[in-house]
């Protein structure tokens, strides 16, 4: 994965800068670049919360030209609104998920540019971008808060491994379906319904991505039921003898 920096161009509100630092750190990003930002005070620090280090270590630049000089690959973000004023300047544009696919293969440094809260990025600032990214939004109210836009890009780019829990494999699933089929025999489930019922059960359990623990609980419940039936039968036979 390439080294990704988040670049805020002339942010106007320090609270947004703080929230940006926080949401970056939430997704494992620590490189923040501030181009000619507003003054940062208590509000930025408060909203950065435990990402104070990201805020403190933010690099300062004075123009967007510096960003283009330094980074190997620059993605510029634009809102749905500015996209609609579209010249080739802001076209074609990619969704965050598409940007992720493209950026994943890059061997170099990547900067994601976010414009000012009120009017975004100027054409001059967009011109040299390798890629234009637009987060798909509602026509009714397309203007995202700056830190929410950063959060969505970071979420997509994070590619963080998801926690693992063991899913039941084919051997375990086959054993479970065999047990269920045997159980249906045990309760005299009619043959003419059997195939459809087994298909319904396979569809139903199949889409759960059953965990190993859950599979074993299902076996356990069937065994307990079988034992109850068995036990009662034996009592019954004893009574008859």
Residues numbered 180-239 forming contacts with a copy of itself, rule: CB under 8 A: 184, 186-189, 197, 200-201, 203-205, 207-211, 213-214, 217, 221, 224-225, 228-229, 232-233, 235-239
**Taking Cα atoms as reference points, which of 78, 88, 77, 20 lies closest to residue 48?**
20
Strands (E), 107-184: 109-114, 131-133
Residue 171 binds a copy of itself, judged by CB under 8 A:
no
CB of 83 to a copy of itself, least distance (A): 7
Q: What is the footprint of a copy of itself within residues 74-133 (CB under 8 A)?
A: 80, 83, 88, 91-93, 95
The helix-helix angle for 96-104 and 146-158 (nearest 10°) equals 40
The residue written with tokens 């994943």 in the block is 104
Query: 126 with 78: CB under 8 angstroms?
Result: yes
The residue written with tokens 């637009």 in the block is 134
Candidates 163, 170, 191, 192: give the one binding a copy of itself (CB under 8 A). 163
Q: Total residues contacting a copy of itself (rule CB under 8 A)?
A: 73
Distance of CA 94 to the CA centre of its chain: 17
In this complex, which beta carbon is closest to a copy of itself, that of residue 24 or of residue 64? Answer: 24
Q: Which stretch binds a copy of itself (CB under 8 A): 35-43, 68-76, 118-126, 155-163?
A: 155-163
Query: 100 with 160: CB under 8 angstroms?
Result: no
CB of 37 to a copy of itself, least distance (A): 20
Q: What is the footprint of a copy of itself within residues 134-153 (CB under 8 A)?
A: 134-138, 140-145, 147-148, 151-152
In this complex, which beta carbon is closest to a copy of itself, that of residue 39 or of residue 164? Answer: 164
Residue 2 binds a copy of itself, judged by CB under 8 A:
no
My answer on whether omega of the bond before 92 falls inside 30° of 0, hence cis, is yes
Q: What is the 3-state composition of the chain as percent helix, strand, coil, each rounded to the nearest 5? A: 55, 15, 30
């Amino acid at each position: 994965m390439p080294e990704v920096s988040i670049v805020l161009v002339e942010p106007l509100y320090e609270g947004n800068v703080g929230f940006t630092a926080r949401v970056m750190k939430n997704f494992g990003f620590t490189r923040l670049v501030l181009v000619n930002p507003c003054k940062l005070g208590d509000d930025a620090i408060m909203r950065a919360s435990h990402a104070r280090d990201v805020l403190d270590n933010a690099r300062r630049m004075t123009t967007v030209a510096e960003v283009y000089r330094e980074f190997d690959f620059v993605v510029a973000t634009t809102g749905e609104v500015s996209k609609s004023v579209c010249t080739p300047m802001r076209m074609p544009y990619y969704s965050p998920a598409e940007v992720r696919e493209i950026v994943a293969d890059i061997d170099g440094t990547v900067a994601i540019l976010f414009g000012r809260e009120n009017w975004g990025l100027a054409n001059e600032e967009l011109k040299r971008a390798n890629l234009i990214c637009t987060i798909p939004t509602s026509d009714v109210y397309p203007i995202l808060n700056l830190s929410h836009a950063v959060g969505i890009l970071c979420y997509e780019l994070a590619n963080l491994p998801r926690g693992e829990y063991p899913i039941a494999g084919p051997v375990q699933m086959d054993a479970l379906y065999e047990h269920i089929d045997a159980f249906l025999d045990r309760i005299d489930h009619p043959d003419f319904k059997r195939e459809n019922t087994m298909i319904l059960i396979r569809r139903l359990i199949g889409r759960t991505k059953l965990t190993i623990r859950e599979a074993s609980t299902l076996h356990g419940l069937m065994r307990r039921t079988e034992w109850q039936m068995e036990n009662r039968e034996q009592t019954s036979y004893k009574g008859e003898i």
